[in-house]
């Protein structure tokens, strides 16, 4: 007995996408990165600036890292009337991007004199 190749292809695709859609409908599978497996919203961690993602809002960053929103806007020359609900990725320009935000927040949390990177450590010992 031979299975029709077209029927076999349809069956494989149905099983493949059926599993994905079934798990998404059950709330087990999430590909957005914005929620955990429990359905809770992902928040940045105070101890790790690398947990900041482009879809996070200015309000989330200011609250988590205890930085006044006005200071954040001033640091990166952003308009003072920027809504706090604006996603970081929507503000990217020559003066602002996620990497520079991470670097700035890292510099605020580290005491003076502490090297921020491996290259700075090498400079101290060379």
Q: What pLDDT, in 10s, does the model give residues 44-96?
A: 666 778 778 888 888 888 888 888 988 888 888 888 888 999 888 888 888 88
pLDDT band of 124, cuts 50, 70, 90: low
- Together in a domain, 53 and 18: no
Q: Which residues constitute the domain of residue 18?
A: 1-32
pLDDT of residue 42: 65
pLDDT at 116 over 80: no
Instruction: Answer whether residue 85 is part of any domain.
Output: yes
Comparing CA positions, the residue from 17, 45, 12 lying closest to residue 29 is 17
- Together in a domain, 27 and 58: no
How is 63-94 classified by DSSP, letter by letter?
A: HHTT--HHHHHHHTT--TT--TT-BGGGG-SS
Comparing CA positions, the residue from 48, 47, 101, 99 lying closest to residue 73 is 101
What is the rounded CA–CA span in Å between residue 100 and residue 105? 9
Instruction: Answer whether residue 21 is part of any domain.
Output: yes
Instruction: Answer whether residue 37 is part of any domain.
Output: no
Number of domains in the chain: 2
Would you state the torsion angle of the CA atoms of residues 88, 68, 44, 49, taken in this order, to the nearest 10 degrees?
Answer: 90
Instruction: Answer whether residue 42 is part of any domain.
Output: no
Comparing CA positions, the residue from 35, 11, 13 lying closest to residue 24 is 35
Identify which of 3-17, 19-33, 46-60, 104-118 has the greatest average pLDDT. Answer: 3-17
Instruction: Answer whether residue 56 is part of any domain.
Output: yes
- Together in a domain, 118 and 64: yes
- Together in a domain, 89 and 117: yes
pLDDT band of 99, cuts 50, 70, 90: confident
Out of 3-17, 92-106, 110-124, which region has the weakest mean confidence (pLDDT)?
A: 110-124
* Entry pTM: 0.55
Instruction: Answer whether residue 87 is part of any domain.
Output: yes
Residue 52: count of CB within 10 angstroms of its CB: 20
């Amino acid at each position: 007995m031979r299975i029709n190749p077209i029927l076999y292809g349809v069956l494989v695709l149905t099983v493949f996408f059926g599993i994905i859609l079934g798990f998404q409908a059950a709330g087990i599978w999430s590909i957005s990165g914005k929620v955990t497996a429990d359905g809770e919203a992902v928040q940045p961690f105070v101890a790790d600036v690398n947990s900041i993602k482009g879809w996070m809002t200015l309000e989330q960053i200011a609250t988590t890292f205890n930085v006044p929103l006005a200071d954040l806007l001033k640091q990166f020359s952003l308009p003072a009337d920027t809504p706090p609900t604006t996603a970081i990725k929507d503000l990217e320009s020559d003066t602002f991007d996620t990497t520079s935000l991470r670097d700035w927040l890292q510099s605020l949390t580290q005491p003076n004199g502490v090297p921020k990177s491996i290259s700075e450590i090498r400079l101290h010992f060379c």
